[in-house]
């Protein structure tokens, strides 16, 4: 029987290896970038992985979204699951990153602890409809504020200013210094994203569009594309995940203010979130959350001014 | 409808890319399917085994995995080909077995006595297949062949997730540019696919009427 058991083990191992191979795009499950620093020097006073103070039975005006959410005791959040540093699903199923920390901050001010947040994956193309069809209460998902989107939903924030940048293979074999240098050259980005449209329409690159940013890394390794382009923070995550393989070149050449999506016309809720953000800017919570997540790789910037339109 | 007025060219480009992919794959996969079918009914065991193995392997693998192998795995093994070309190869490899099975079922609809009679007057296997079996099989082959072609039309959308610009990819591009019209965009994209598949269905009906035989 021993032989048979060995066979089974071998088969299991082969199966596991195949599965691993097939999901090779997925980053190794580590609390690396965007993970939580478990070194033990964080004060264990607050709640959840981000040590946030949970508001004690906060008072809200009758009938507002805040009152309803505080009453229900849960917050449904749409975020990214595949973006290192901002929203990356960890091995325990919960996402980690700066977007996740910001969502947890909003929940905390509503008196909702981290374990009562319901996370859903909100890929780029479904973010508006998630809010319109009431599948989530807020969307925090590297969500660039723009006018077309404002027709369908409301934005609180911005809580972070990203900018489009360019990723090349280590050593920069093509000598690319900025977006002007990729005209007519094959560049990878994600189909249906703002950076993809920018590099193709404004800089004349030959766009090769993938389904996810991680799908752009292999073509770059193989020289099938000369560069990958999207927001600098996402690219930084890849540089960090693949040491010695890639580098960022040049400065950012667009402004991508990340906002928090809420249902259209819920101005009271937007105002509340803006107040929460401004308070977090003031008392240093915003900076602390950034340092514990994206700050592992990025320099902590000055918080942006919220836009109360 | 703003997106149609301003970005109709994006939609058209996607539509043409899908059509081109469909046509090229059809022209490559159908002959390959015929070869596989002939191998499967041939009297040579080794040919039968090879064709059966290939058919079963490709037919039972998800198309996405076939794409994944060609687009992400082959380059790691040093085979670097253009993404457009990879897509055609993936679709061809995946579709040929379906064509082959459609053809084989048509061949099986020809009474075995036909083959026996052909062999008894001294025709070789090649001659029997070419002059007796296949001409009769064509009649019952047309509907399933067009079914597979309709499925192939929809399968081309998988290429949109593998660095190829086509109709499905154009829908995502438009949905980002016109976030307030996404539902309309998806409806129009669906209509574009129907504009390909419905005529194919009609063609199948017409051809079938034309070559129908009373048995």
- Calculate what percentage of chain A has a pLDDT beyond 90: 67
Q: Which residues of B touch A124 (CB under 8 A)?
A: 176
pTM above 0.85, yes or no: no
Q: Cα–Cα distance between B180 and A129 in angstroms, integer?
A: 10
pLDDT at B66 over 70: yes
> Tell me, what's the pLDDT at A28?
40
Q: Are A107 and A44 in contact (CB under 8 A)?
A: no
Candidate from B65, B72, B175 with C-beta closest to A192: B175
Instruction: Give the chain A residue nearest B173 (alpha carbons).
Output: A192
Question: In the Cβ-directed half-sphere of B153, how many Cα atoms lie within 13 Å?
Answer: 21
The b/e string for B159-180 (b: 16+ C-beta within 10 A; e otherwise) is: bbbbbbbbbbbbbbbbbbbbbe
Q: How distant is the Cα of A151 from the closest Cα of chain B, in angstroms?
A: 7
Say if CB A139 and CB A155 are below 8 A apart.
Answer: no
Q: Which of A124, A149, A219 sits opposite B163 (nearest CB)?
A: A219
Reference B82, options B158, B170, B163; nearest CA is B163
Task: Tell me whether residues B165 and A196 touch, CB distance under 8 A.
Answer: no
Do B75 and A224 make contact, defined as CB atoms within 8 angstroms?
yes
Q: How far is CA A35 from CA A22, A30, A44, A90, A231, in A?
A: 24, 7, 17, 8, 20
Asked if A148 and B177 come within 8 Å (Cβ–Cβ), the reply is yes
Is residue A52 within 8 Å of A104, Cβ to Cβ? yes
Q: Does A223 touch chain B (CB under 8 A)?
A: yes
- Cα dihedral B160, B162, B164, B167, rounded to 10, equals 0
Closest CA to A161 of A73, A80, A281, A248: A281
Is A215–B65 a contact, with Cβ atoms under 8 angstroms apart?
A: no
How large is the average pLDDT for residues A148-157? 92
Least confident of A28-37, A43-52, A187-196, A266-275: A28-37
Query: A47-56, A272-281, B127-136: which has the highest mean pLDDT?
Result: A272-281
Q: Does any CB of chain A come closer than 8 Å to the CB of residue B180?
A: yes
> Token pair 């499950």 is at which residue?
A29
Coil vs helix vs strand at B111: coil
Q: Is the pLDDT of residue B67 over 50?
A: yes
Nearest partner of A292 among A100, A115, A136, A119, judged by Cα? A100
Res A285 pLDDT > 60: yes
Contact flag A192-B172 (C-beta cutoff 8 Å)? yes
Separation between Cα atoms, residue B165 and residue B169, nearest integer Å: 6
Rounded to 5°, angle at Cα A231 from A215 and B73 = 10
Whole-Å CA distances, A29 to A20, A92, A243: 12, 9, 16
User: Is the CB of A188 less than 8 angstroms away from the CB of B163?
Assistant: yes
Q: Residues of chain B with pLDDT > 90: what percent? A: 69
Q: What is the spatial distance between Cα B145 and Cα B140, in angstroms, rounded to a whole number?
A: 9
- Read off φ and ψ for residue A75, nearest 5 degrees: -130, 130
Put simply, the chain A residues between 191 and 210 with a CB less than 8 A from any chain B CB are 191-194, 196-197, 207-210
Mean pLDDT over each residue of chain B, to the nearest integer:
92
Spell out which residues of chain A touch residue B179, defining contact as CB-CB under 8 Å: 128, 146, 148-149, 151-152
Average pLDDT over residues B194-209: 90
- Given a cut of 50, is residue A27 above it in pLDDT? no
**Which band of pLDDT confidence, cut at 50, 70 and 90, is reported for residue A115?**
very high
Q: Identify the band that residue A38 occupies on the pLDDT scale cut at 50, 70 and 90.
A: very low
d(CA B171, CA B160): 10
Does the distance separating the beta carbons of A209 and B75 come in below 8 Å?
A: no
The packing angle between helices A98-109 and A267-283, to 10°, is 110
Q: What is the least distance, in Å, from the CA of A59 to any CA of chain B? A: 35
- Mean pLDDT of the region A52-61: 90
| Interface size, chain A vs chain B, as Cβ–Cβ contacts under 8 Å | 65
Average pLDDT value for residue range A158-171: 95
Mark yes or no for CB contact B172/A191 under 8 Å.
Answer: yes
- Say which residue the tokens 């959840």 belong to: A48
Residue A91 binned pLDDT confidence (cut-offs 50, 70, 90): confident
Q: What is the DSSP string of chain A?
A: -HHHHHHHHHHHHHHHHHHHHHTTTSPP--S-TTS---SS-S-TTSBTTTTBPPPSS----TTSHHHHHHHHT-EEEEE-SEETTTEEE-TTS-EESHHHHHHHHHHHHTT--GGGEEEEE--GGGHHHHHHTTS-SEE-SS-B--HHHHTTEEEEEEEEEE-EEEEEETT-TT---SGGGGTTSEEEEETT-HHHHHHHHTT--EEEEESSGGGGHHHHHTTSSSEEEEEHHHHHHHHHHSTTTEEEES---S-EEEEEEEETT-HHHHHHHHHHHHHHHHHSHHHHHHHHTGGGTSPP-PPPPP---
Phi-psi region of A163 (alpha: psi -120 to 50; beta: other; left: phi over 0): beta
pLDDT, position A34:
45
Interface membership of B177 toward A (CB under 8 Å): yes
CB B50 within 8 A of CB B117: no
What pLDDT was estimated at residue B213? Answer: 59
Mean pLDDT over A211-218 rounds to 88
Q: Hey, what are A186's tokens? A: 């094959």
B161 CB within 8 Å of a chain A CB: yes
Q: Does B178 touch chain A (CB under 8 A)?
A: yes
The answer to whether A307 contacts chain B (CB < 8 Å) is no
Confidence band (pLDDT; 50, 70, 90) for A39?
A: very low
Nearest CA in chain B to A148: B179
Mean pLDDT of the region A190-209: 91
What's chain A's average pLDDT? Answer: 86
**B77 touches A: beta carbon within 8 Å:** no
Q: Which residues of A touch B65 (CB under 8 A)?
A: 22
Q: What is the pLDDT of residue B119?
A: 92
pLDDT at B34: 93
Contact A148 B178 (CB under 8 A): yes
| B177: closest CA of chain A, how far (Å) | 8
Q: What is the pLDDT of residue A292?
A: 94
Higher pLDDT, A29 or A189: A189
The CA distance from B161 to the nearest CA of chain A, in Å, is 5
Distance CA B104, CA B94 (A): 17
Does any CB of chain B come closer than 8 Å to the CB of residue A39? no
Q: Is B48 helix (H, G, I), strand (E, B) or coil?
A: helix
Q: Least CB-CB distance to A125: which of B72, B75, B172?
A: B172
Nearest to A148 among B75, B83, B179 (CB): B179
pLDDT for res A23: 44
pLDDT in the model for residue A35: 46
Contact A209 B173 (CB under 8 A): yes
Weakest-pLDDT range from A60-64, A82-86, A170-174, B16-20: A82-86
């Amino acid at each position: 029987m021993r032989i048979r058991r060995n066979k089974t083990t071998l088969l299991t191992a082969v199966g596991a290896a195949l599965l691993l191979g097939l999901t090779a795009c997925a980053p190794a499950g580590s609390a690396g970038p965007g993970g939580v620093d478990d070194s033990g020097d964080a004060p264990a006073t607050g709640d959840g992985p981000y040590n946030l103070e949970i508001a004690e039975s906060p008072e809200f005006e009758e009938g507002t979204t805040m009152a309803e959410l505080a009453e229900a005791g849960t917050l449904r959040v749409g975020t990214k699951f595949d973006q290192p540093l901002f929203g990356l699903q960890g091995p325990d199923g919960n996402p980690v990153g700066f977007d996740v920390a910001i969502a947890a901050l909003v929940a905390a001010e509503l008196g909702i602890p981290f374990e009562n947040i319901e996370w859903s994956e909100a890929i780029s193309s479904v973010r508006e409809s998630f809010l319109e069809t009431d599948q989530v209460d807020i969307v925090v998902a590297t969500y660039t504020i723009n006018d077309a989107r404002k027709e369908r939903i409301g934005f609180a924030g911005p809580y972070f200013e990203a900018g489009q940048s360019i990723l090349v293979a280590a050593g920069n074999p093509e000598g690319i210094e900025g977006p002007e240098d990729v005209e007519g050259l094959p560049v990878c980005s994600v189909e249906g994203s703002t950076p993809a449209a920018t590099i193709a329409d404004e800089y004349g690159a030959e766009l090769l569009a993938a389904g996810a940013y991680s799908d752009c890394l292999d073509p770059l390794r193989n020289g099938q594309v000369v560069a990958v382009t999207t927001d600098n923070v996402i690219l930084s995550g890849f540089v960090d995940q693949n040491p010695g393989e890639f580098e960022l070149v040049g400065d950012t050449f667009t402004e991508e203010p990340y906002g928090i999506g809420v249902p259209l016309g819920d101005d009271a809720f937007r105002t509340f979130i803006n107040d929460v953000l401004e308070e977090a800017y003031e008392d240093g919570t915003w900076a602390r959350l950034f340092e514990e997540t994206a700050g592992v790789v990025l320099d902590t910037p000055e918080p942006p001014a919220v836009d109360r339109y | 409808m703003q997106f149609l007025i301003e970005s109709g060219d994006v939609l058209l480009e996607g539509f043409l890319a899908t059509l081109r992919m469909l046509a090229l794959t059809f022209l490559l996969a159908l002959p390959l399917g015929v070869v596989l079918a002939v191998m499967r009914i041939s009297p040579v065991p080794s040919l039968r085994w090879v064709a059966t193995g290939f058919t079963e392997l490709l037919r039972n693998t998800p198309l996405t995995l076939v794409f994944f192998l060609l687009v992400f795995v082959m380059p790691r093994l040093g085979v670097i080909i253009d993404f457009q070309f990879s897509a055609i190869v993936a679709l061809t490899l995946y579709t040929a077995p379906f064509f082959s099975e459609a053809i084989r079922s048509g061949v099986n609809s020809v009474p075995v006595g036909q083959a026996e009679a052909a062999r008894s007057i001294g025709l070789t296997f090649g001659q029997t297949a070419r002059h007796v079996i296949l001409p009769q099989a064509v009649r019952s082959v047309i509907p399933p062949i067009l079914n597979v072609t309709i499925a192939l039309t929809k399968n081309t959308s998988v290429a949109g997730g593998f660095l190829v610009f086509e109709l499905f990819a154009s829908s995502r591009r438009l949905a980002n540019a016109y976030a307030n019209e996404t539902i309309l965009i998806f409806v129009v994209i669906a209509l574009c696919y129907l504009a390909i598949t419905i005529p194919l269905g009609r063609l199948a009906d017409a051809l079938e009427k034309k070559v129908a035989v009373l048995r």
